[in-house]
Amino acid sequence: MHDSKTEAMTEAMTEAMTEAMTRTAELVRAVRPDQLTRPTPCTEYDVAALGRHLTYWGVVFSGQAARKAQPKPDEGPDGVGDDWAGVFAEQADDTAAAWSSPDAWEGTTHLAGTPMPASLVGSLMLAELVLHGWDLAVATGQRPDYSEAVTRTALEIIERMADQGRAAGIFGQPVPVPDSAPLLDRAVALSGRDPAWAARQP
């Protein structure tokens, strides 16, 4: 039996995941072939490599995690292939639907072969969509049009995991921004990204 607070939190996370998936899919769909070799705020990735990473973690792995399925050992971003945008479009709705089930947020699932609370993995997947959606958007001249509710949720997740993320090498040192900065700027800055990255490109 679920208490009303838990049900409300699960409903809010489900709505945020669904919107984040929809908005990120729009960004993926708008990437042009001539943009694939552009740099991104993730210095180890160009747009094509970022797209494969985002597609694997954001829809392929995320959908498996929501269904409590163990990923295959040989799967990963490289296995997505060159048509990562097609894979994202094909699986985004199904992945969002999988996370729309309250059962997806309960019990345990797997991350990198390690059992973890499903609610934690779902939160990480939501932050993954927003952060890498922003990376993809600014690298390709788009506007990451996430709602205030989604960006606030992502910021709260990143605030909770920032120290652990930096210790694991997932996040960089926070970039200073004013408290009055937009929520999305605050979220990406806390993860070690420069909200003004696009303006600093040659």
Per the CB < 8 A criterion, the answer to whether 53 and 24 are in contact is no
pLDDT reported for residue 73: 63
Tokens 């993320």: give the residue. 165
Torsion angles phi and psi, residue 39, rounded to 5: -70, 165
What is the pLDDT at residue 5?
A: 63
Phi, psi of 64 (to 5 degrees): -65, -40
Task: Report yes or no on 26 lying in a domain.
Answer: yes
Inter-residue contact 46 to 37 (CB < 8 Å):
yes
Residue 121 counted as domain residue = yes
Domain presence at residue 161: no
Q: What is the pLDDT of residue 4?
A: 66
Tokens of 23: 């908005």
Q: Is residue 157 part of a domain?
A: no
Count Cβ neighbours within 10 Å for each residue of 43-65 and write b for 16 or more, e otherwise: eebbbbbbbbbbbbbbbbbbbbb
Structural domain including 120 reads 4-146
Looking at the chain, which runs of residues are DSSP E strands? 108-111, 114-117
- Into how many domains does the chain fold? 1
Residues in the chain: 202
Domain membership flag for residue 41: yes
**Is 15 inside any structural domain?**
yes
Report d(CA 110, CA 149) in Å as an integer.
Answer: 27
CATH number at residue 79: 1.20.120.450
How many Å apart are CA 117 and CA 59, to the nearest integer?
19
Compute the radius of gyration of the chain from its Cα atoms.
16
**pTM for this entry:** 0.93
By DSSP bridging, strand 108-111 and strand 114-117 are: antiparallel
pLDDT per residue of the chain (202 residues) written in tens, 0 to 9: 456 667 777 889 999 999 999 999 999 999 999 999 999 999 999 999 999 999 999 999 999 999 998 776 667 888 898 999 999 999 999 999 999 999 999 999 988 778 999 999 999 999 999 999 999 999 999 999 999 999 999 999 999 999 998 998 889 999 999 999 999 999 999 999 999 999 888 7
Would you say residue 35 lies in a domain?
yes
- The terminus-to-terminus CA distance of the chain in angstroms comes to 56
Distance CA 44, CA 157 (A): 24
Inside any domain, residue 53: yes
